[in-house]
Amino acid sequence: MAFVAALWLGFAPYVLHFSQVRGGLADGIDVLVVGALALVRTVVPRDFPVFSVVNAVLGLWLVVAPFVLGYQLARVVVTDLVVGVLLLGLSGLSAVLTYRQRAKARAGERAG
């Protein structure tokens, strides 16, 4: 999901015509980081759960950025809010589930 969010953040400024707006430029940085981390998590899903935590933090940034940076266009605000909430929730869930799975595997190794 995070990779899809990164794709949308990358294309949204051009699809919704706000590529020259401050919000569109701020999202560009998120695109690179979220996309790279999501790609690693896709290739090795049990490794690097901290990358999902970082993506969740970036999702939180997308939620607060329109208010901190004072975005003027409603479509930029809505895009960042929707993608941010999804990224925060799903990346956070991915991190929690991966950490739980790793804890169970460690407990199984100790018991067995």
pLDDT digits (tens, 9 = 90+) for 38-94: 888 889 888 899 999 999 999 999 999 889 988 888 888 898 899 999 999 999 999
pLDDT at residue number 75: 86
Contacts of 96 (CB under 8 A, 6+ apart): none
pLDDT at residue number 4: 83
**Region 98-103 average pLDDT:** 93
Write down the pTM of the prediction: 0.83
pLDDT at residue number 12: 81
Structure tokens at 45: 């899903």
pLDDT reading at 24 higher than 60: no
